[in-house]
Amino acid sequence: MKINERLVKFEAVLLLRKATGWRAERITKTLNELGFSISLNTVRHYLYHNELPELSPLIKSLFYHKAYELALKLKERNPKWNHKRISIEIKRKLGIRISPKTIYYWITRRGKPSIVPLKIHLELGYVIGALLSDCTRTTYVKLAVEDRDYAESFAHALDTVTGRKYRVKERDGYYIVRTRGSPLRYIVKSGLWKVVAYVYLKEFLQGLFDGDGSVTMRVSPRPEFIVRITLCDSNLELLEFTKRLLRKLGIESKILLNRKRGTKTTICGRECTINEDCWVLTINRQKDIIKFYKHVGFRIQRKQEKLRDVVEILRKYKSNRGRVRAWKKLYVKDKGGWIKRTPQTTPTFNFS
């Protein structure tokens, strides 16, 4: 998949315009802040000269299905028009040039767009966040996870942004969602994910933290009650950008080296060697953890419940001794970490 930098800048303008309706001046300022070096005159040219420079997977996903429907309507209303005439009219109306040969196949019902359609919608933020964390992105997009609600959230987000229905399949203890998704892979590879993340900040962070985020605890009788929200990834650029997004919400975080390249670790019961440096973004301060809970949170139920319990305990108890006691009434430690007790053995707290 080749990336044309000029086309990517055009698409960045297009995405911001469709998502926000902003004027040229604000779009220019935002894109330069995001690292897309572009002038105000260029942005104005892209906005007010209704012409798409090239066809990329993203452009096709946004326009091909509209063009297909328009081609059929034009042929129905003007039976004498041939495919070349319809191609000219589509370019005039949509600003997109489609080859007459493609139009011919459409109007003769011998073919139709095969690319996944895409809507500029806030759920696109969740999809892209998940893509950058847990999804494989080769010739297709696949999410395979152990949390069914995570897979269902991802499938629902895909349903919303594509208008198609995606099923969650179960195999070998994993819940799997799969799509061809070339426009989604293109958004990630081209760097346009930064535009999507900036516009749909909450949804993007939810997808990212659902995939690679966690609530980590250190609880001991000393007493010690230390809570962190963490996000691990080998992509330092992604973590640094995430830190900027969190700061927009008033949430401070730190980035540290977690594991060096060549380190051996165990993943899913198998010993592996880390091929790249692995970094971790951490949210440490109590007020920042509470802000994350209020403004972002998780869609995975077990993670969100754990975070909610942490926040309620932090708010109610001022001493570590009280926090440790309350925590241990709700959770029990095992090899995999802190597990919530069953409803029959869990006491009820009034956190009002």
- 218-271 pLDDT, tens digit per residue, is 998 889 999 999 999 999 999 999 999 999 999 999 999 988 877 777 655 567
- What pTM was computed for the model? 0.89
Domain range 123-199, CATH architecture: Roll (3.10)
pLDDT for res 352: 36
pLDDT for res 235: 93
pLDDT digits (tens, 9 = 90+) for 138-174: 778 999 999 999 999 999 999 999 999 999 999 999 9
Neighbouring CB atoms inside 10 A of 161's CB total: 24
pLDDT for res 269: 58
pLDDT for res 201: 97
Q: Which CATH superfamily is domain 212-340 in?
A: Homing endonucleases (3.10.28.10)
Helix (H) or strand (E) holding 188: helix 182-190
Q: Are strands 169-171 and 174-179 parallel, antiparallel or unpaired?
A: antiparallel
Q: Please count the helices (runs of H) and the strands (runs of E) in the chain.
A: 15, 12
Peptide bond just before 223 cis, omega within 30 deg: yes
More confident residue, 122 or 1: 122
Q: Is the dihedral of CA 201, 205, 207, 208 positive or negative?
A: positive
Mean pLDDT, all residues of the chain: 91
Q: CATH 3.10.28.10 occupies which residues in the chain?
A: 123-199, 212-340
